[in-house]
């Protein structure tokens, strides 16, 4: 009697990124990789530039390959023969399409995560139409798509025409990372996110001089290409004493826990982890309606306020309300996703067996 063979599994997972400058997509990617390694899987990260603040969060045991450009990913796949490819976000699906085109039937299954909303507020009419055509092609080169909440899954399934090939798996939760705290004010408004056009920190800075409390400062944790423009706005408004740009933070949770309110003023988001992280430490939040997921996170009026993207008066009103002495902090809301790495592995194994 011949021995029963074990069903095939995704023993080797390949994922990829441009750099480690500190985006939420790459941070979630590294947390997932840590979970996959802990489960005994082999994980390889193909990356153009290994430098950046997130380099300190690379998990032990992660294999690194450094193609000069991600367009070389098909060659990496040929050489390493992974069982599955994980595309960590929308920004990277072009490389997934290129890899599928180059490898054809020899390409392993590709699983992608929908990290941003299918419709972006920064797109004009023509760009929006072109983007929708691009999203509708995703089913031709992706085997499976993962969204992080039910509402974003519904949006993604319609936009990509991948109904029936969708899963909902939240990002792994943030974990405390030991380190020194910056010198924080006694009370402050907090923004957490890259200094990039998408985040629209100009909206929050512009609201500061119009608040009832003319002394409360704003702290922003993040780094990016908009630093110069943001510093110019701060100077023009005479806010150099009230706006503190502390740069990238490897662990914003302790700073969130001390904040009076955490504010997100983005044009568009996927599932903003900053909101979940703030609520997990009992800090209320204000957010623009930048994603269908925002209403899933701020699902009760005692947890914060959702405002329209360009409604400056509503943003000021929400800030004044939550900064009032009578405002109550919400009860901490546990972050989802403790089993996310295992759920991804179950999905990978299922695709490999097919």
Find out whether 273 and 305 touch, Cβ atoms under 8 Å. Answer: no
In this prediction, residue 2 carries a pLDDT of: 47
Radius of gyration over alpha carbons of the chain, in Å? 21
Find out whether 49 and 19 touch, Cβ atoms under 8 Å. Answer: yes
Tokens of 336: 């989802």
What domains does the chain contain, in order, with CATH numbers? 12-173+337-353 (3.40.50.2000), 189-323 (3.40.50.2000)
- Average pLDDT of adjacent 10-residue blocks, the chain of 354 residues: 68 96 88 97 96 89 95 97 96 96 97 88 86 95 96 93 95 83 93 95 98 97 95 97 93 95 95 95 97 95 96 98 95 94 97 92
Find out whether 146 and 84 touch, Cβ atoms under 8 Å. Answer: no
In this prediction, residue 5 carries a pLDDT of: 59
Q: Which helix (H) or strand (E) holds 97?
A: helix 93-103
In this prediction, residue 180 carries a pLDDT of: 73
In this prediction, residue 354 carries a pLDDT of: 83
Q: Indicate the Cα dihedral angle 294, 173, 91, 250, nearest 10°.
A: 110
């Amino acid at each position: 009697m011949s021995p029963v063979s074990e069903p095939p599994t995704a023993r080797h997972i390949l994922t990829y990124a441009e750099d480690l400058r500190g985006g939420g997509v790459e941070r979630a990617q590294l947390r997932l990789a840590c979970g996959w390694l802990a489960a005994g899987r082999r994980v390889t990260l193909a990356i153009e530039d290994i430098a950046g603040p997130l380099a300190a969060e690379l998990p032990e045991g992660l294999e690194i390959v450094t193609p000069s450009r991600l367009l070389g990913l098909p060659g990496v796949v040929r050489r390493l023969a992974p069982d599955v490819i994980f595309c960590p976000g929308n920004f990277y699906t072009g490389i997934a399409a290129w890899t599928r085109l180059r490898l054809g039937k020899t390409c392993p299954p590709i699983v992608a995560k929908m990290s941003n909303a299918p419709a972006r507020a920064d797109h004009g009419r023509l760009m929006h139409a072109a983007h929708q055509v691009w999203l509708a092609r995703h089913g031709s080169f992706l085997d499976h798509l993962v969204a992080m909440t039910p509402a974003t899954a519904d949006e993604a399934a319609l936009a990509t025409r991948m109904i029936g090939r969708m899963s909902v798996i939240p990002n792994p939760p943030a974990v405390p990372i030991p380190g020194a705290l910056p010198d924080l004010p006694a009370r402050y408004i907090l923004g957490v996110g890259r200094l990039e056009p998408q985040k629209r920190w100009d909206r929050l800075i512009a609201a500061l001089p119009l608040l009832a409390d003319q002394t409360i400062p704003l702290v922003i944790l993040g780094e990016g290409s908009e630093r110069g423009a943001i510093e110019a706005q701060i100077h023009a408004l005479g806010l150099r004493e009230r706006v503190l740009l502390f740069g990238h933070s490897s662990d914003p949770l302790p700073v969130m826990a001390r904040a009076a309110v955490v504010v997100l003023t983005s044009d568009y988001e996927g599932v903003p982890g900053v909101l979940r992280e703030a609520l997990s430490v009992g800090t209320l939040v204000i957010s623009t309606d930048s994603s269908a997921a925002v209403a899933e996170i701020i699902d009760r009026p005692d947890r914060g306020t959702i405002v329209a993207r360009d409604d400056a008066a509503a943003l000021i009103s929400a800030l004044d309300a939550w900064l009032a002495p009578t405002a109550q902090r919400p009860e901490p809301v546990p972050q989802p996703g403790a089993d996310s790495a295992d759920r991804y592995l179950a999905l990978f194994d299922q695709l490999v067996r097919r």
